[in-house]
Structure 1
Amino acid sequence: MDLNFTREDAAFRDEVRAFLDEKLTPELKEAGSLTTSVFTDKKWNLAWQKILYEKGWVAPAWPVEYGGTGWTEMQKYIWASECARYGTPHLSPMGLRMCAPVLMKYGTPEQKAFFLPRILKGEDYWCQGYSEPGSGSDLASLQLRAVSDGDDYVLNGSKIWTTHAHFANRMFCLVRTKWDGKPQEGITFILLEMNTPGIKVEPIITLAGEHEVNQVFFDEVRVPKTNRVGPEHEGWTVAKYLLEFERGGAYAAGLAVGIEKVRSIASAERSSDGDRLIDDPSFRRKLDETEIAVKAMEITEHRVMSELAGGKNPGPASSMLKTRGTETTQAIDELAVEAIAFYANADQHDARQPGSNVAPIGPAHGLTAVPRYLNNRAASIYGGSNEIQRGIMAKLVLGL
C-alpha cells in the first residue's frame, strides 16, 4: 500500500480541516482537551456525534450499505490523525466500534435493521457487560447466570468495571448458559435494555476522582431470547471477534499529539537547576526514546492498514497494537507528570470540568496530567491485559 499522500488525499485532508475549523465549537474543543480517558462524557460525545451524523462522517469504518463513508484506509487514517490533532471529543466506542461490527457479522436481519440505524444516530447508548468480580482477564470463567425460561433468559449475578453504565440505555453482555464442559463453550452473547426490572447500577469512583465505571447487579432480570446474538452457548466466538475491534485501533496519531504536548510543557517548565526542562539531557533522552516508540507504532498501524485495505480483519495484530499502544500511552503520561513536577500534587477535579469557572492551580497544562496518568494505568488491563495479549502473540504470531 502506498502511504504517501496523493493529490486526492491532500485535498481530503484540507476538506477535513475545513470541516473541523467550522464545526468543532470552542465548547466541544474544551471538552475534548479535558478528556482524561478514552471516554468523553455522554453530553459532549453525543453532541459531536450528532454533528458527524449530519455530515455523514460518524462511522468511517462501517460498510457503505450500513451508513459508512466509503473512505479508503488512507482517508480513515487522515481523519483519525486530524481529529487527534484538533482534540475532538471521543465518540463512545461501545456502539459504533464494538457492538455494531458484531451485529453486522452475527446479527439477524431484524437485529441489524433495528439496532444499526439507532447506533449510527446516537439514539442508543451502549455499555459492555464482560468483566465480573473474579473474571476479568480470565473472561471464560464468568458466572453471570442466564437460565432458560420459555422465551426468555433469567439473569442473576453482576458485572464490574462497566464503563458509562450510568449513561447507557443498552448493554451487550456475556452470560453463562451452560455449566458443564469447557467454560468457553457455555457462554452466550445477548443484548439487553438497562431499564429492565432487576438491574441496578452502582458507581465506582476511580483514583482520578471520576465516575466513569460501575458495578451492575442483575436480580431475576428477564431478557427475550430474540436478543441473543449468534447461537446459544457460542458467545465466546462472538466475544473474540468483538475484542479484535476493542483491542485494535489507531493509537499513533493520538500518541504523536501527546508527545508534542509533553514537549510543549517541558519547554515551559524548569528543571531543578533552573534551566528549561526540555534542555535537561536525561529528560530529553526519555522523551526521544518514547517518540521512537510512537514512530514504531505508526509503522505497525500502516501495516495493519494494508491488511484492512485487502479486506482482512486485524487478527492478532490487534494484540500487538493494544500492547504497545497502551504501554506507550503510559510512558507519555509519566513524562507529563514528571514535567509538571509539584503541580501534580493538586487535586483539581472541579477546575477541569468543561465550562468550569474554577481557576487552575498553576499552569493550565497541569490540569489533566495526573488524572490522565491515573486513568490510563488501567489501559494495559482492560480489553484483555497485556499479559494476555503477549500470550496471544506467542501463539498466533510466533507459533509457540
Structure 2
Amino acid sequence: MDFAFGPADEAFRTEAREWLDRHLTGGFAAAAGHGGPGAEHQDPALRRDWERELGRGGWIGIGWDTAPGAYGNRTASLTQQVVWAEEYARVRAPGRCGHIGEKLLAPTLLAYGNQEQRDEFLPSIARGETLWCQGYSEPGAGSDLAGVRTVAERDGDAYRISGQKIWTSLAHEADWCFVLARTGGAGARRHEGLSFLLVPMDQPGRIEVRPIRQLTGTAEFNEVFFDGARARVGHVVGGEGAGWRVAMGLLGFERGVSTLAQQIGFAAELAAVVRDAVRGGATGDPVVRDQLIALWGELRVMRWNALRTLGGGDPGAPSVAKLLWGGWHQRLGELAVRVRGALAAAGPGDWSADAPYELDAAQRLFLFSRADTIYGGSDEIQRNIIAERVLGLPREAEGPR
C-alpha cells in the first residue's frame, strides 16, 4: 500500500507547522510536553487557555463531518487530520483537555443527535470553552456496559439521575458529562432501556466528584455520584431507549486519527529509553538490545495498521489497535526502568516535607502503563469483540445474574 502524503497534505502540514510555531510561545511553550495520560495534573489552567487558543485558530473539530466553518472550525480531509495530529505531537504541544468533547461527543452528536443539540453544544466545543467527561463505567460494570445500573427517571421536562460512575477521566474539571443510564424501568434487561443523556456537572448537592488516587500519585480518574441530578428531555441523544446504539457508535469514534498522534508520543518515549540504555551501558546486554529492536519494529507495525484501517469498515480494527498499543506501551514502561537499574528507584530531587516526592518521566511511564491493558476496554473484552464480530465465533456464555 502507498502510505505517502500528497501535495495538498504537505501544504496543510506547512500551514499547521507555521501556526504552531507562531502560537506555541511564552507560557504555552513552557507547558510543552505537559498533560496527557498520567500527567493531567500538570498546568490545568494554562492548558485550558491553550484549548481556547486552538479554538480561535479553528483547529478544534477539523475532523467533524460538517460544512466548512459551520461551527467555527476549519475542515480537513482524513489524511490532513493525520498531518495535524502528527505535527501537534511532534512539537510536544500541551496535552489536550478538550479531547473528550471534540473526539467523542461531537462525532456522536453529528451521527445520532438532532440539529438543536448540535447547534447548542458544538460551537462551544469548537471554541475550546466547554469540557466534557464520559459517564460509562460503573462498579461491577466496567467494560460490560450492558450491566450499568445508574437510573434516569422521567420527571416532567427532565430526567432525575441516580447512581454511580467510576474511572471518569477529568470529571473534576468537566462542565458536562454524557451519561449512559437506564430509562426503561424494571422490566428492561441488559442493553434494552438504556439512554444517552447530556448532564451539566454544575449541580451542587446532586453531583459529587471524588478523585481516585493512582499509583503515580495523581488523580485524573474520578468516582461520580448522581443523587437526583437533572438532565433535560431535549438532551437525550437519539431518543429514549436508544442509548446502547449511541454508546456503541461513540466507541467506534474513540480510536481513529488520534492513535497516529499517540504513536508519535510513543516514539519519543522509546527514544528516551534508548538514550538511557546507551548512557547506562544496558545495550551491552543482548536481551535488552533484542527488546529495543522488537519495540521499534512493533511501533512501525502499529503505524501501518492504523493507516491501513483509517478508512473504516473493519469492525475489529479498534479492538486490534487497542490490543497492539496497550501491551506495547506496558512493555516499554517495564524496559524504561529496567535499563536504568537501581537508579530507577531514585526520584529527580531530594524529598522533603515541603517538596513531596515527584516521579520522573520513566517512573511515571512504568506505573501508569500498568493500566493500559485495562482502561478503554480491557484486553479480554477486545479479544471477545474480535472473536465474535470478526471471526464469527459463538458468544461467551453468560453466568447467572
**Band of TM-score, shorter chain:** 0.7 to 0.9
C-alpha change, 1:195 and 1:234, in structure 2 (3 Å) is: same
Contact 2:36–2:95 (Cα < 8 Å) also in 1: no
Q: Deviations over 1:140-172 (max 9, x none)?
A: 111111122222212111111111111111110
2:301 to 296, 301, 309: 296
C-alpha change, 1:224 and 1:71, in structure 2 (3 Å) is: closer
Q: CA deviation at 1:334?
A: 1.8
Contact 2:199–2:230 (Cα < 8 Å) also in 1: no
Q: Distance in 1 between matches of 2:16 and 2:201?
A: 36
Partner of residue 318, structure 2:
318
Counterpart amino acid of 1:341?
Answer: G
Counterpart amino acid of 1:262?
Answer: V
Tell me, yes or no, if structure 1 residue 216 matches structure 2 residue 224: yes
How many residue pairs get matched?
A: 380
Gap runs ≥5 in structure 2: 394-401
Q: CA deviation at 1:313?
A: 5.7
Tell me, yes or no, if structure 1 residue 369 matches structure 2 residue 362: yes
Partner of residue 187, structure 1:
194
Q: Distance in 2 between matches of 1:209 and 1:216?
A: 19
Tell me, yes or no, if structure 1 residue 167 matches structure 2 residue 160: no
Bigger helix fraction = 1
2:290 to 282, 285, 296: 285
Partner of residue 338, structure 2:
338
C-alpha change, 1:159 and 1:371, in structure 2 (3 Å) is: same
Does 286-295 or 16-25 show the bigger shift?
A: 16-25
Does 27-36 or 205-214 show the bigger shift?
A: 27-36
Tell me, yes or no, if structure 1 residue 140 matches structure 2 residue 133: no
Does 135-144 or 335-344 show the bigger shift?
A: 335-344
Contact 1:252–1:301 (Cα < 8 Å) also in 2: no
1:73 to 78, 88, 93: 78
Partner of residue 237, structure 1:
245
Q: CA deviation at 1:27?
A: 4.1
Q: TM-score, normalization: structure 2?
A: 0.87
Partner of residue 94, structure 2:
89
2:267 to 236, 256, 266: 256
Q: Distance in 1 between matches of 2:46 and 2:209?
A: 22
Counterpart amino acid of 2:13?
Answer: R
Q: Distance in 1 between matches of 2:175 and 2:350?
A: 27
Q: CA deviation at 1:183?
A: 0.9
Q: Secondary structure at the match of 1:189?
A: strand
Partner of residue 28, structure 1:
28
Q: Deviations over 1:245-270 (max 9, x none)?
A: 224432432322222222222222x1
Q: Distance in 2 between matches of 1:242 and 1:218?
A: 22
Q: CA deviation at 1:26?
A: 5.8
C-alpha change, 1:182 and 1:323, in structure 2 (3 Å) is: same
Q: TM-score, normalization: structure 1?
A: 0.87
Counterpart amino acid of 1:188?
Answer: S
Identity score, percent: 38
Q: Deviations over 1:60-115 (max 9, x none)?
A: 21124244433222222222222222211222321000111111111121111010
Q: Distance in 2 between matches of 1:343 and 1:26?
A: 34
Counterpart amino acid of 2:345?
Answer: N
C-alpha change, 1:193 and 1:313, in structure 2 (3 Å) is: farther
1:158 to 159, 164, 179: 164
Q: Secondary structure at the match of 2:153?
A: strand
Contact 1:31–1:40 (Cα < 8 Å) also in 2: no
Q: CA deviation at 1:48?
A: 2.3
Partner of residue 49, structure 1:
51
Gap runs ≥5 in structure 1: 271-275, 352-356
Q: Distance in 1 between matches of 2:341 and 2:333?
A: 13
Partner of residue 58, structure 1:
60
Counterpart amino acid of 2:60?
Answer: V
Counterpart amino acid of 1:45?
Answer: R
Counterpart amino acid of 1:48?
Answer: W
Counterpart amino acid of 1:124?
Answer: T
C-alpha change, 1:105 and 1:278, in structure 2 (3 Å) is: same
Partner of residue 111, structure 2:
105
Tell me, yes or no, if structure 1 residue 390 matches structure 2 residue 397: no
C-alpha change, 1:45 and 1:349, in structure 2 (3 Å) is: farther
List structure 1 runs of 4+ shifted beyond 6 angstroms.
357-361
Q: Distance in 2 between matches of 1:390 and 1:229?
A: 29
Does 151-160 or 283-292 show the bigger shift?
A: 151-160
Q: CA deviation at 1:53?
A: 1.8
Partner of residue 134, structure 2:
128
Q: Distance in 2 between matches of 1:214 and 1:360?
A: 22
